[in-house]
Every structure is written in structure tokens, then in C-alpha cells.
Amino acid sequence: MAKFYFKYGAMNSGKSIEIIKVAHNYEEQNKAVQIYTSAIDNRDGVGIVSSRTGFNRKAIPISDEDNFYEMIKASHQKNRLYCVLVDEAQFLRKHHIIELAQVVDELNIPVMAFGLKNDFTNELFEGSKYLLLYADKIEEIKTICWFCHKKATMNLRFLDGEPVYEGDQIQIGGNEAYLPVCRKCYKNPGKI
């Protein structure tokens, strides 16, 4: 029986490389997968899952108005899918999460969604909130704080070397704009 997974972690925890690895493992056995990513993330081009390690994969970009269930059902009817992988899942909308649950429940295809849990102000993203509610299995992908040896649980946004604690929830960026940090270093970061 298929399950709905939410694998979350702070920035730099290896979420994207995990998607690439999982896709490779399925495809090595000639089992088709479909990879999706938010159309909002354009750091390396729209529709690209890209890891800091240099590996990347093409993906289907998802916009707010897209219907996951209908897209996946149509693909599955043409070529059986063994798994659906979703990167940057924090940017999804509530209806997307419900549609992914429908894929698991009605099409019996496992779905693995990867993303951040909380934003730089430590509020849940809409997609993450509903993944926490609808996923069958929730797993943290761990990484360490940029400034100390503790586990990173938060994302520190910074501008010109200074921490930023207010602003728009969504600002696309990588190491040039965000660092993974622990709770203590979030409010008292070291020198950036």
C-alpha cells in the first residue's frame, strides 16, 4: 500500500540530493518516477531540482493553478509510475497537498515530498502545514548549525552580513541569503 511522505529539513540538509538519489534507485530498476518542483524556485532555472553538490535533474514545474492529481493520473495511464517525488514542497498550496494525498489513496502511487518546515521567521509555510497534517510519515532530514555543533532547526535569512527577521515569506535564495541554524544561534548568530 502506497504512503505519503513528508521529509523536511533546514536549508542545506540534503533534501534535493535525496530526491535525485531516490529517483536514481527507482530508475536503475526500470521503474518510472516523476519529479516535480515549485515553479517559484528559479535559482538554477524553472523545473530543475538542483543540489549544492552539483547534481541536478529536470522536473515538472508546479504553479498554483496546477492540479497534481490530474497531471499524475494522465502520466500514470500512459506509463506506470512507481513513485512521485516533489521538491520545494513548502511552496505548494493546500489543494496541492490534498491532490497528492488523492494520488496515494486512489492511484496507489507513493509520494515523497521534500521541503522546509518553517520560514525565516519560524512560521510554517502553507505547503508544510498541510503536509504535516496529511502525510502518513513525517521524517526530519538533519543538518548542523552554521555557527555551532548543534542540530539546525531554523533558517536564518541575512542581507549584507546582517540577520533579517522581517519581510516577505518567500524570497528565493541559497547560501547567499540563508543559513541553517539552531535555536540559540538564530537570535545570536556568530559573524557571517
Low-confidence ranges of the chain (pLDDT < 50): none
Whether the pTM exceeds 0.85: the reply is yes
d(Cα 131, Cα 124) in Å, to the nearest integer? 11
Taking alpha carbons only, the member of 13, 19, 95, 103 closest to residue 57 is 19
Assess whether 88 carries a catalytic annotation.
yes
C-alpha cell at 60: 515538472
Query: What residues form DSSP beta bridges with 140?
Result: 8
pLDDT at residue 129 in the model:
97
pLDDT at residue 56 in the model:
79
Q: Which of 65, 88, 99, 140 is catalytic?
A: 88
Please, what is the angle between helix 68-78 and helix 94-107, to 10°?
A: 30
**Helix segments in the chain, DSSP class H:** 15-28, 68-78, 94-107, 126-134, 183-187
C-alpha cell at 127: 505547503
pLDDT at residue 176 in the model:
65
pLDDT digits (tens, 9 = 90+) for 32-58: 999 999 887 767 667 777 777 778 789
Taking alpha carbons only, the member of 18, 84, 26 closest to residue 55 is 18
pLDDT at residue 141 in the model:
95
**Whose grid coordinates read 499524475?**
72
